[in-house]
């Protein structure tokens, strides 16, 4: 059965499958069963079969999935097979680390431009990628065909940054700024470290828990 849409939740699991099958393919393990995939991902075999079926990867009953084939197929679905260009805005501590991390980790997502407003940072580089003034963002992103924007600026500058990225042709944003972005026709994924850390506190004995649970 062919689908015209894959749920966001399934899309977010595809890179997990991609990691598992890529590692196996590189290790010359040709086949993985959905049971093995479940063990390695912590997801249920049913969930895995359902997710992969969305894009027509059914595997072979009683045998499993061809790891190399599945890796190629997932990469194509995500658009990683030809590499996706990304730009980082905000080369502060977090942005700088994100850039180094991304540049060193991701061959398929390439950080090809970095922007900041700090004159002391402009002209320097992160692992060979020069830090440019934000005034060059739109033109540079258009010229390089940047599709993904990583926003690591202060909350007060986040919305403006997102609008510049859209103007530069960016279609998806990973937002680390603690601010709600409003940009039409741009997919925004937020990662808010404050929220992650504060939420975690609830699960520790520091929390008083719910008013009604007797803690």
Q: Which residues participate in the annotated binding site for NAD(+)?
A: 90-95
Query: Does residue 131 contact residue 116 with C-beta atoms inside 8 Å?
Result: yes
Give the CA-trace dihedral at 41, 195, 114, 106, to 10 degrees: -10
Q: How far is the CB of 68 from a second copy (least distance, A)?
A: 18
Q: Which is nearer to a second copy, 44 or 135 (CB)?
A: 44
The set of residues, in sequence order, having a beta carbon less than 8 Å from that of 143 and lying 6+ positions away, is: none
When the beta carbons of 27 and 205 are compared against a second copy, the nearer one is 205
Minimum distance, C-beta of residue 154 to a second copy, in the bound complex (Å): 11
Q: Which is nearer to a second copy, 46 or 180 (CB)?
A: 180
Closest by CA to 137, choosing from 91, 71, 106, is: 91
Least distance between a second copy and beta carbon 113 (Å): 15
Name the minimum Å distance from CB 118 to a second copy: 16
The per-residue DSSP string of 118-187 comes to -TTTBTBEETTEEEEEGGGHHHHHHHHT--EEEE-S-HHHHHHHHHHHHHTT--EEEE-SSS----TT-E
Least distance (Å) between residue 188 CB and a second copy: 9
Binding site residues, as ranges? 90-95
Query: Residue 184 is encoded by which pair of tokens?
Result: 């039409």
């Amino acid at each position: 059965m062919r689908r015209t849409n894959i749920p966001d939740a399934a899309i977010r699991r595809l890179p997990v499958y991609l990691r598992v099958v890529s590692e196996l393919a590189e290790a010359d393990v040709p086949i993985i069963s959905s049971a093995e995939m479940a063990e390695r991902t912590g997801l249920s075999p049913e969930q895995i079969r359902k997710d992969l079926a969305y894009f027509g990867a059914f595997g072979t009953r009683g045998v499993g999935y061809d790891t190399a084939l599945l890796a190629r197929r997932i990469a194509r679905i995500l658009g990683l097979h030809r590499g996706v260009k990304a730009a980082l805005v905000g080369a502060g501590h977090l942005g700088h680390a994100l850039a180094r991390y991304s540049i060193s980790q991701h061959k398929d997502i390439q950080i090809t431009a970095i922007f900041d407003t700090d004159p002391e940072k402009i002209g320097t580089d992160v692992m060979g990628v020069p830090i440019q003034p934000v005034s060059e963002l739109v033109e540079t992103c258009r010229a390089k065909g940047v599709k993904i924007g990583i926003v690591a600026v202060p909350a007060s500058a986040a919305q403006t940054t997102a609008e510049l990225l859209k103007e530069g042709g960016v279609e998806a944003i990973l937002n680390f700024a603690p601010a709600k972005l409003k940009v039409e026709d741009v997919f925004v994924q937020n990662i808010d470290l404050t929220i992650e850390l504060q939420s975690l506190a609830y699960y520790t004995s520091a929390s008083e828990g719910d008013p009604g649970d007797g803690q």
